[in-house]
A = this chain, B = another copy of it.
Amino acid sequence: VASRRAGIVGTGLIGGSIGLALRRAGWHVTGTDGDPARAARALEVGALDEVGTDPEAQITFVATPVRAVAGAAREALDLVAGHGGVVTDVGSVKASVVDAVDHPRFVGGHPMAGSEQEGVDGADPELFEGAVWVLTPTAGTDDAAFTLVRTVVSSLGADVVALSPEHHDALVAVVSHVPHLAAATLMGLADDRAVEHRALLRLAAGGFRDMTRIAAGHPGIWPDICAENRQAITDTLDGLLDALSRMRAVVAAGDREALLEVLERARAARTNLPARAVVPADLVELRIPVPDRPGVLAEVTTLAGQLAVNIADLEIAHSSEGQGGVLILLVEAADAERFRTGLAGRGYRSAARPLENP
């Protein structure tokens, strides 16, 4: 078996966890960090085989702070693209990074996993098991580059969802960025009141603790995130401010029915929130003849992401005549018809075949 080689730029919690997971799967991992002491520590804890750069790396993960991703990704591409290597990143904001890098062998990525730990000492090779990992291919992304990143990320146990960079940014503003800012705001409000009312924080029970837990995280990453995703975050904050004002009006008016309706809806939505670990359902194989032009794979996979269709596996069978090929996807049976309708709307024919659930 030829050695598989990977690179990591930025050996913190996420970079370190990727290193541990890849090494456990037999990859040779080379990495660097802006702070040489952090790279040395990553070597020490077994997240790297060696400190440095590897021009032969088939895949390089850029896991620096968001602000530094584009520069680091371009440097990595200069090093590895000539040898066929691909580069991906793990930043929390995608559109600005993908625009700035703009290279067929770069695939934006964002694992939706974290930990209260910090740095490589908190790294965990199982951090990505069952977590959603967003990839953001575009019309300019090389198909082989995307499939390689997808395969490697899946092998770490993650559940890959492809989305356009802009769509990713709009969604994480709602489920990650604004919740974080709201948790910090709520904690700050309670802390303000606690100055006058010392007993206040003693009364903080489970619900309050749950709601403010993420506010205990390290603030260092947030100025970058807020700068790079400013528009989506302010839009979502406006939506939250509107919704809270409506809630205030309902309470002030003593409107019991309206209050119950809002709370019942929230309860139903929370109860239906998809669990982290999805039980594999019956799968359907879709075969989609695709033309041989760039962007097809990005279009099909981000359509699946947008429609919340889970792609369990993906393969491209190139036609022997060289005229396009066939894209073979495994999707959940419950999603298959919705997805086929969406595909038809974009001009893709598809053939479906149910698979036995193992």
Contact = CB atoms under 8 A, between A and B. Distances in A.
B114 A217 contact: no
A264 interface: yes
B270 A179 contact: no
A269 interface: yes
A199 B169 CA distance: 12
A144 interface: no
A263 B132 contact: no
A214 B206 CA distance: 9
A254 B267 contact: no
B248 A234 contact: yes
A51 interface: no
Contacts of A305: 199
A266 interface: yes
Interface string A180-191: 111111111111
B132 A205 contact: yes
Contacts of A358: none
A266 B187 contact: yes
Contact of A227 (B194, B254, B264): B254
Interface string A268-302: 01111110100000000000000000000000000
A325 B209 CA distance: 41
Contacts of A240: 185-186, 189, 244
A204 B328 CA distance: 28
Nearest to A265: B188
A275 to B, nearest CB: 9
B212 A273 contact: yes
A157 B188 CA distance: 30
Nearest to A238: B248
A161 B256 CA distance: 31
A202 B248 contact: no
A230 B256 CA distance: 12
A interface secondary structure, majority: helix
A203 interface: yes
A191 B244 contact: no
B219 A306 contact: no
B183 A131 contact: no
Contacts of A236: 189
Given A230-B254, A240-B244, A244-B185, A191 B266 contact: yes
Interface stretch (A9-17, A75-83, A170-178): A170-178
A247 interface: yes
Contacts of A95: none
B264 A181 contact: no
Contacts of A176: 203, 205, 207-208
A183 B211 contact: yes
Given A186-B240, A188-B243, A213-B270, 4 more contacts: A174-B190, A199-B307, A211-B214, A219-B263
Interface of A: 112-114, 131-132, 134, 159, 161, 163, 167, 170-172, 174-176, 178-194, 197-220, 222-223, 226-227, 230, 233-234, 236-241, 243-245, 247-248, 251-252, 254, 256, 259-260, 262-267, 269-274, 276, 305-308
